[in-house]
């Protein structure tokens, strides 16, 4: 009996040696996982592994039985397909050790891989980076050279308690002046775009949405300068902007230039794809003519800037983004439908809650202070509240501020 077992093991060993040799020499690199087992593998476990190998192409993944361990060679797999195969085989060759389920769990625990279509890629997924010695070259070029001579204080402060979880009615330039330096973690905002929209008026009539561009930008930058001052070192400001194409004003570039001039680091840009294909095809008689074709846009931008450092301090236990959300949202193009409840809220230019939810979870920790200096009816504030952050929302219109307060209290009741 013992002899039989030894012969069996020898044959199996030879078979796997062969496969391994083939894998190493013909198929290139794999990611290797090793799963130890204590007792001998039962025959139905061995059969389950053979069946598994027969169903999954060798070039994608293989299982090798070694002494007291199973080697999992991973290259690229559709994990959900693997789970299905595991379930089917486990049902058929039911074994008490559930060897394939353990293997699937070990694969699920591997967190570093690339994604190609439905497949997880475990090796060489960084290979499209063809640059050798990338970090040294980045260093030589002078990463974010434009922000190098900043002199922001690195001492962050506790914000005054009276501003926490408040919707404040007034001009942001004046309100922000009273808030301490370096005391806000994240600013998410969407300023009035100067499109000529009919906002509810604030305390003075100057906030109308059709100012001369110079006056508009002077005011906007005065508010952004206050935002920069109140941001913590390592804090982020994320501005949702849409250029005014009809006036040929690239607002997103002009706003970005201002932050760069103030020595903030440009972290990146998210393209918010709204898929609203309802804009006109032509303007000024240039239909089907190169004389002056009018470009159509179905998206807006989110420009992301950091004060002093790209890294933000925070406790691990205050991270609330899931692995799937993270993987999806770091791809800088977000398809989110425009807000549909603008009539209900009585505001002409809201952004959707989903946009705020993604920004807040991706760029802040639970317990952080989130400010919106153009708060409208409180999309940023109410989402921040529901995600267990602290909020400050400022808007000139008392009507919008009241709506925002109602919205937050109804969020709290749910
Ligand atoms: C594009 S809307 C923001 C909408 C908001 N994101 C939402 O989802 O409700 C811009 C807002 O800025 C406000 N606003 C304009 N000038 C302001 C100022 N100087 N200080 C504070 N708020 C201002 C307007 O009343 C308007 O509600």
99-136 tens-digit pLDDT = 899 899 999 988 888 888 889 999 887 765 667 788 88
Q: What is the pLDDT of residue 15?
A: 47
Q: Structure pTM?
A: 0.72
Q: Are strands 333-335 and 265-273 parallel, antiparallel or unpaired?
A: parallel
Measured in Å, residue 71 CA sits from the centre of ligand 1 at: 58
In ligand 1, which atom is closest to the CA atom of 193? 1
Q: What is the pLDDT of residue 329?
A: 96
In ligand 1, which atom is closest to the CA atom of 377? 9
* Residue 345, C-beta contacts closer than 8 angstroms, at least 6 positions apart: 377, 403, 407
Nearest CA to ligand 1 atom 21: 395
- Kindly report the three-state secondary structure assignment for every residue of 280-344: CCCCCCCCCCCCCCCCCCCEEEEEEEECCCCCCCCCHHHCCCCHHHHHHHCCCEEECCCCCCHHH
In ligand 1, which atom is closest to the CA atom of 374? 12
Measured in Å, residue 198 CA sits from the centre of ligand 1 at: 12
Which stretches of 165-211 are assigned E, i.e. beta strand? 166-169, 184-189
Nearest CA to ligand 1 atom 16: 207
Nearest CA to ligand 1 atom 19: 171
Fold classification of 152-413 (topology level) = Rossmann fold (3.40.50)
Domain assignments of the chain as residue spans, ordered by start: 2-121, 152-413
Measured in Å, residue 351 CA sits from the centre of ligand 1 at: 11
| Residues in the chain, pLDDT under 70 | 1-28, 95-97, 127-130, 195-210, 277-285, 413-414
- Report residues whose beta carbon is within 6 angstroms of any ligand 1 atom: 171-172, 190-192, 199, 207, 347, 349-351, 373-374, 376-377, 379, 394-397, 400
In ligand 1, which atom is closest to the CA atom of 349? 1
Q: What is the pLDDT of residue 13?
A: 47
């Amino acid at each position: 009996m013992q002899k039989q077992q030894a012969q069996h093991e020898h044959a199996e060993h030879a078979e796997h040696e062969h496969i391994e040799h083939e894998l190493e020499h013909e198929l290139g690199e794999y990611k290797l996982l090793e799963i130890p087992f204590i007792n001998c593998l039962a025959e139905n476990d061995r059969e389950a592994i053979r069946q598994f190998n027969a169903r999954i192409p060798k070039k994608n993944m293989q299982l090798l039985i070694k002494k007291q361990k199973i080697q999992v060679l991973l290259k690229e797999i559709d994990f959900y397909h693997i789970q299905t195969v595991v379930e089917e085989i486990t049902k058929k060759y039911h074994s008490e050790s559930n060897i394939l389920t353990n293997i699937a769990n070990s694969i699920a625990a591997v967190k570093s891989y690339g994604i190609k279509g439905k497949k997880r890629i475990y090796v060489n997924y960084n290979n499209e980076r063809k640059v050798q010695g990338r970090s040294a070259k980045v260093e030589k070029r002078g990463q974010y050279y434009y922000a190098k001579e900043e002199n922001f204080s690195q001492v962050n402060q506790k914000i005054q308690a009276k501003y926490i979880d408040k919707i404040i009615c007034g001009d942001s330039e004046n309100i922000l002046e009273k808030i301490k330096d370096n005391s806000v973690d994240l600013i998410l905002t969407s300023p009035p775009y100067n499109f000529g929209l009919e906002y509810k008026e604030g305390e003075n009539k100057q906030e109308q949405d059709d100012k001369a561009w110079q006056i508009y930008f002077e005011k906007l930058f005065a508010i952004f300068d206050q935002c920069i001052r109140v941001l913590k070192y390592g804090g982020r400001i994320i501005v949702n902007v849409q250029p005014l194409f009809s006036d040929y004003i690239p607002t997103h570039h002009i706003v970005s230039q201002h932050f760069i001039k103030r020595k903030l680091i440009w972290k990146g840009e998210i393209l918010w794809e709204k898929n609203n294909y309802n804009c006109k095809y032509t303007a000024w008689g240039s239909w089907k003519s190169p004389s002056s074709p009018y470009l159509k846009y179905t998206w807006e931008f989110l420009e992301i800037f950091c004060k002093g450092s790209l890294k933000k301090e925070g406790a691990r236990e205050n991270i609330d983004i899931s692995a799937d959300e993270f993987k999806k949202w770091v791809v800088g193009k977000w398809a989110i439908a425009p807000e549909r409840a603008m009539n209900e809220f009585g505001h002409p230019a809201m952004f959707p809650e989903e946009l705020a939810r993604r920004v807040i979870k991706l760029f802040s920790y639970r317990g952080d202070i989130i400010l919106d200096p153009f708060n409208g009816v409180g999309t940023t504030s109410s989402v921040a509240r529901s995600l267990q952050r602290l909020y400050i929302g400022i808007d000139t219109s008392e009507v919008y501020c009241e709506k925002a307060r109602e919205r937050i209290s109804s969020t709290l009741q749910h």
